[in-house]
Amino acid sequence: MLPRPTSHSKALGPGVAGPELAVATSAVLDRPPQPGAHLPLTGAAPCAVDPASLNDPRQHTKYPYVTGTSVLAVKYKDGVLLGCDTLGAYGSTKRYKSTQRLYRVNDKCVVAAGGEISDFQHISNLLDELTTDDYRIDDGIQLTPQQVYSYLCRVMYNRRNKMDPLWNSLVVGGVQPDGSQFLGMVGMIGTHYTDSHVTTGFANQLARPLFRERQRDDMSEEEALNLLYDAMRVCYYRDKVSINKFQVAKVTTAGGVSISEPFALDMRWDYKMFSNPTKWAVGAW
């Protein structure tokens, strides 16, 4: 019978019964175990972390797993507003309900994303590196929304050409150095456009008609917020992978970037059409 090692597990810390209690270690061997390929010093079971060691071909993301739905954004007189909910859906399961999909790049730019959450985290890391390099140059000049937009266009198109796309639709919003507002959308295969109002996902069908009818570049902040709230209500009513928990980012020349705390909107479920929505549908009961 092997004697109980007197020292704790180096892998797990003091007072924790780790792998060393199950296998012979330096306490009972003539010589300590030597490190090998994927063989920890603690004697724990090897864990293959190198894809080459698995003898499997490289795997690409064929379908997104944890996803965010629509992003909505509009220009107004003093800046831009971007809004989205905080849901990370696992298929049709509303799994993660506090996922922030708004990323502050700097004092003049915000990026929001729909699609695969892990791919957006990777994009956030790329933007972190970009802004860190920009800060290190120390020339007093910040990246503009137009430059961030152009960078993301190249990133998305580059990954598309590798047949390993990032499964996201990105919205870039901010204020240019001359004070003009900027809004742009970048798709997962590098398609992109700029406009006075942009949307992604299901909001292209649900919210864009409202924006075409009511949005103006010279509208007040109150009008822009009310328009955004109305569009988010419509998306919540009609999109099954949406929840009533939203965040709004505001970018202005004077105030910089502000991202709101999560909030809920007032909803009504007593509309006449909601009482029996399939009454006149073909094949309905």
- For the stretch 257-268, pLDDT in tens is 999 999 999 998
Segment among 180-189, 252-261, 275-284 with least mean pLDDT? 275-284
- Interval 88-113: pLDDT, tens: 999 889 999 999 999 999 999 999 99
Mean pLDDT of 132-148: 92
- Is the confidence at residue 205, as pLDDT, over 90? yes
- Interval 78-88: pLDDT, tens: 999 999 999 99
pLDDT score of 16:
47
Residues 6 or more apart from 237 whose CB is under 8 A from it? 267
**Closest by Cα among 266, 111, 126, 264 to 200:** 111
Assigned domain for 46 exists: no
Full-model pTM = 0.76
Q: SS3 of 228, please?
A: helix
- Is the confidence at residue 13, as pLDDT, over 70? no
Assigned domain for 36 exists: no
pLDDT score of 221:
94
Active site residues: 61
Assigned domain for 23 exists: no
Assigned domain for 84 exists: yes
pLDDT score of 12:
46
pLDDT score of 274:
77
Assigned domain for 282 exists: no
Counting every residue, how long is the chain?
A: 285
pLDDT score of 2:
54
Q: Distance between CA atoms of 211 and 261, rounded to whole angstroms? A: 24
For helices 117-137 and 145-161, give the axis angle rounded to 10 degrees.
Answer: 130
Residues 6 or more apart from 90 whose CB is under 8 A from it? 65, 66, 96
pLDDT score of 63:
82
pLDDT score of 44:
56
Assigned domain for 155 exists: yes
- Interval 167-203: pLDDT, tens: 999 999 999 999 999 999 999 999 999 999 999 999 9
For 245, the domain range is 66-259
* Sign of CA pseudo-dihedral 235, 237, 242, 243: positive
Assigned domain for 135 exists: yes
Assigned domain for 241 exists: yes
| CATH code: domain of residue 170 | 3.60.20.10
Domain count for the chain, please give it. 1
- Is the confidence at residue 160, as pLDDT, over 90? yes
